Copies of this chain bind each other. A is one copy, B any other.
Amino acid sequence: MSPAKHIDLYDTTLRDGSQGEGVSFTVQDKLVVTEKLDDLGIRYVEGGWPGSNPRDAEYFEAAKKLKLKNARVTAFGSTARPGKTAAKDDNIKALLAADTSVVTIVGKTWAEEVRSSLRISLAANVDLIGKSIAYLSKRVDEVILDAEHFFDGYATNRDYAMQCLQAAIEGGAKVICLCDTRGGSLPEQITAAVTEVRELGAAVGIHCHDDSGLAIANSLAAVAAGAIQVQGTMNGFGERCGNANLCTLLPNLQLKLGYKCVTARQLRKLGETSRHLYELANMIPDRQSPYVGMSAFTHKGGLHVSAIKRNRASYEHIDPEIVGNAQRVLVSDLSGKSNIEYKAKEFGLDVDNRADELGGLLAEVKKLEKSGFQFEGADASLELLLRANLNGKEAFFKLIGFRVIDEKRHEDEPAQTEATVMIEDPDGNIEHTAATGNGPVHALDLALRKALVRFYPTLSDVTLHDYKVRVLAGEEGTAGLVRVLIESGDSEKRWGTVGVSHNVVEASWQALVDSLAYKLLKDGRSRTRKARAK
């Protein structure tokens, strides 16, 4: 077998990706992203547009000190401004000041845009491209042309679009990257254009946007037609519908098509890198994202779950570990006994020869789900339920009652909330506490912990990360059932709990109580583990 053909990945998360709504990186974030991408084995990391904002210039200064193993930091900018020579253009000066070995220059190739946006003659634009690239090619190792709107230009004035590329090649561009700037092209259009551009003799790159949901397919079509560089962003960050998602492209190229982009070891870092970038960008991860999403290898339907227990390839196109992801199974009213068994084993419960009990548990779970419970985001509540049924309930504390008062005394003043909680501690003492809060659930949370923390000091480590409310049975309006999901965590892990009631306060109370009970269960387990280790 001949060695696999290499494809260069070019990441523009820090430049094009940061144009996405809600995405913004500090200089420090950008440096971390650069190192993460280097670890992942990405060849080019486009760091920013030094001529466009001071933050990017600062980044390039700092990036020089990074010790990178794989990545070449790349500076991005446009051709010289109309009427300026490259030597006198501030943008080109800033590019050289960034002091990178690679520079990418965007040039317009759609005749209509040259007229309406640049407002110069078509010939003048060709000249700008050629001269800007020639000037830079003498001063840096590698110049790449990003041919903006290339596919639109190719569709409407092919000769002109090709002339622009020709000027760049003559100027010394090492790669001609064809951009589907509006994201509106179809794979067959990409194939035709790339095939013709390859005849110019230059190395071809591809840069796609996802406005038609085809960024991945278009990038792959270009590679099939001979492109050797693929531009994209991590998690598909980017303006409008985003750029081609490198987290999808990389495994497609490497696992499905046999190209070589990174090592197998690097590929296993993909999931973690994706999650880290969501964190840095402060974006909510897309659970459905191919390969790296939280749900990408998650199974819910009972038939599917029993099938993957026999043969996991039934519903998994690849082994998730290869890309740093993992299989997950959910419990829902679509599920069967095999889901419950899978979960019980995951929780470390002994279920051998307990088919009858599992059957009873499944019936109980289905009954709860019918009354509005949902355990998909509430593994901790599910574990408490399974454990109580299979091993007997662990009584960390006994609830007696609570009262919450929300009071608003004047139209212009905010409502005040006070909660009181009464519980019985393990010694049989009644704890009766009170707290005020921003709202009823916040006040209850504070009062409940106040009552318990004397006995269980680790409860003060619990943070409530997220709180979700869903009203069920919409037609009944405010008299309907309410489901509350709470996500809590400590320094080690996060867990989800659920409560259901007609009363949002009571539903929240159930989820809160489960959250704290789970923390105590978890701490008990780790104490046992530590004791055993001694």
Interface residues of A (CB under 8 A from B): 18-22, 24, 26, 28-29, 52-53, 55, 112-113, 116-117, 149, 181-184, 186-187, 210-214, 216-217, 220, 236, 239-242, 245, 248-249, 252, 256-257, 282, 284, 286-291, 293-301, 304, 306-307, 310-311, 313-318, 330, 332-334, 374, 376-377, 398-411, 414-415, 417, 437-442, 445, 463-475, 477-480, 482, 486-488, 501-506, 508-509, 512
Contact = CB atoms under 8 A, between A and B. Distances in A.
A455 to B, nearest CB: 18
A471 B55 CA distance: 18
Contacts of A220: 186-187, 214
Given A301-B19, A438-B502, A504-B469, A245 B213 contact: yes
Contact of A21 (B186, B216, B376, B477): B376
Contacts of A487: 477
A25 to B, nearest CB: 11
Given A181-B315, A248-B213, A307 B113 contact: yes
A26 B311 CA distance: 32
A418 to B, nearest CB: 10
B334 A440 contact: no
Contacts of A296: 211, 240-241
15 contacts: A21-B295, A52-B334, A117-B307, A149-B314, A182-B316, A213-B216, A239-B298, A239-B299, A240-B296, A403-B405, A403-B406, A439-B482, A439-B506, A465-B477, A469-B470
Copies in the assembly, this chain: 2
B26 A439 contact: no
Contact of A295 (B240, B317, B409): B240
A475 B28 contact: yes
A34 to B, nearest CB: 15
Nearest to A238: B288
Given A217-B214, A296-B240, A398-B411, A478 B508 contact: yes
A506 B474 contact: no
Q: Which of A405, A469, A486 has the most CB of B within 10 A?
A: A469
A505 B401 contact: no
Contacts of A53: 333-334
B477 A463 contact: yes
Contact of A311 (B112, B298, B399): B112
Nearest to A294: B21
A506 B406 contact: yes
Contacts of A480: 467
Contacts of A439: 478-479, 482, 501-506
Contact of A314 (B117, B256, B332, B400): B117
Q: Can you list the 4 inter-chain pairs with the closest CB atoms, starting with the nearest?
A: A184-B317, A464-B477, A217-B217, A439-B503
Contacts of A466: 471, 474-475, 477
Contacts of A479: 437-439, 442, 464
Contacts of A28: 473-475
A183 B252 CA distance: 12
A471 B468 contact: yes
A108 to B, nearest CB: 10
B212 A317 contact: yes
Contacts of A503: 406, 414-415, 417, 438-440
B504 A184 contact: no
Given A21-B376, A211-B290, A301-B19, A315 B182 contact: yes
Nearest to A369: B24
Given A21-B295, A311-B117, A332-B24, A471 B467 contact: yes
A487 B21 CA distance: 16
Contact of A409 (B116, B398, B401, B512): B401
Q: Which of A252, A291, A438, A508 has the most CB of B within 10 A?
A: A438
Contacts of A509: 408, 415
B116 A242 contact: no
